[in-house]
């Protein structure tokens, strides 16, 4: 099925965001794991995998609309150097993706592409859940201080 060119542009923009998120969350997972924050790292690993699923869904939709998925370019990665910076970086990426998905959903509605609109609405919902989680973590850091907050996420010690 031939898709609206601007819808395909929006989908490729979304793909850039999701592919960057896969890499950013994965690198943050590895950093957190390396620092010893084992429980925290598990959450970031799962986020990376969820973002990969989003990217896969977007690629499938682009192909269905006879578009060409652009897997060559990514949004810039934001990499933190502390637990708080990691959360700040991921929150910024999620906010950027959410703004794109809201615009994309409106455009898809205007050209009567309900399926792609619903895809963007679903992605928006997922991003809002991520945003809520990350904002809650920042609130906890503010209330507890970063050292105490981070200590909670070390997990069990293993060799």
Helix or strand or coil: residue 79? coil
In this structure, what is the dihedral angle of CA atoms 29, 33, 34, 36, given to the nearest 10 degrees?
140
Asked if residue 51 belongs to a known ligand binding site, the reply is yes
Asked if residue 54 belongs to a known ligand binding site, the reply is yes
The pLDDT assigned to 152 comes to 78
Asked if residue 159 belongs to a known ligand binding site, the reply is no
How does the average pLDDT of the chain come out, rounded? 95
State mean pLDDT over 96-106: 99
Over residues 32-91, the pLDDT tens digits come to 999 999 988 999 999 999 999 999 999 999 999 999 999 999 999 999 999 999 999 999
Q: What is the spatial distance between Cα 5 and Cα 120, in angstroms, rounded to a whole number?
A: 16
Asked if residue 50 belongs to a known ligand binding site, the reply is yes
Asked if residue 1 belongs to a known ligand binding site, the reply is no
Asked if residue 85 belongs to a known ligand binding site, the reply is no
> What are the residue ranges spanned by the domains of the chain?
5-67+77-152
Asked if residue 94 belongs to a known ligand binding site, the reply is yes
Classify domain 5-67+77-152 at the CATH topology level: Ferritin (1.20.1260)
**Residue 115 reports pLDDT greater than 70:** yes
Kindly give, in sequence order, each residue whose CB lies less than 8 Å from that of residue 37, ignoring residues fewer than 6 positions away.
83, 150, 153, 154, 155
Model-wide pTM > 0.85: yes
**Residue 7 reports pLDDT greater than 90:** yes
Structure token digits, residue 131: 């945003």
Asked if residue 135 belongs to a known ligand binding site, the reply is no
């Amino acid at each position: 099925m031939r898709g609206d060119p601007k819808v395909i542009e929006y989908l490729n923009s979304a793909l850039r965001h999701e592919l960057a998120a896969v890499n950013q969350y994965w690198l943050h997972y590895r950093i957190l794991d390396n620092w010893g924050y084992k429980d925290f790292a598990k959450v970031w690993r799962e986020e990376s995998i969820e973002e990969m699923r989003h990217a896969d869904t977007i690629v499938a939709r682009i192909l269905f609309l006879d578009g060409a998925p652009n897997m060559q370019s990514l949004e810039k990665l934001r990499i933190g150097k502390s637990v708080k910076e990691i959360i700040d970086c991921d929150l910024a990426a999620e906010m950027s993706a959410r703004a794109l998905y809201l615009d994309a959903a409106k455009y898809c509605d205007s050209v009567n592409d309900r399926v792609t609109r619903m895809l963007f609405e679903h992605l928006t919902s997922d991003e809002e859940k991520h945003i809520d989680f990350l904002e809650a973590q920042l609130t906890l850091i503010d209330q507890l201080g970063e050292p105490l907050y981070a200590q909670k996420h070390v997990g069990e010690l293993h060799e």
